[in-house]
Amino acid sequence: MEMHELLTVWMESGRSGVLATVTEVEGHAYRKSGASMLLLEDGRRFGSISPGCLESDLAERVPEMLGHAAEEWVEYDMRPEDDLSWGR
């Protein structure tokens, strides 16, 4: 979903929510920088930032984030531990 669509859903829902946005990507990724998703306090999700592997983790963070109403930066490293091409 486009950002304006996410914001419209958020405003029309009347619910608190969290807007998750990909800010930086290194290497191959399902979505690129700027991809966003909305996670509402009632558990509904709109948009996506991955094929599903990150959304569940983000959803678990929503109650805490709404409790302190501040931004939070989360870094995900999706490289396999045995990926020698990354110089490990």
Cβ contact 50:63 at 8 Å: no
Specify the residue for token string 């979505």: 31
Quickly state the pLDDT bin for 66 (edges 50, 70, 90): very high
Kind and range of the H or E element at 46? strand 45-47
* pLDDT higher than threshold 80 for residue 84: no
Task: Give the pLDDT of residue 20.
Answer: 94
Q: Token digits for 81? A: 């531990």
Looking at the chain, the whole-number percentage of residues with pLDDT higher than 70 is: 92
State pLDDT tens for residues 27-52.
777 788 999 999 999 999 999 998 87
Q: What phi-psi label fits residue 19: left (phi over 0), alpha (psi between -120 and 50 degrees) or beta? A: beta
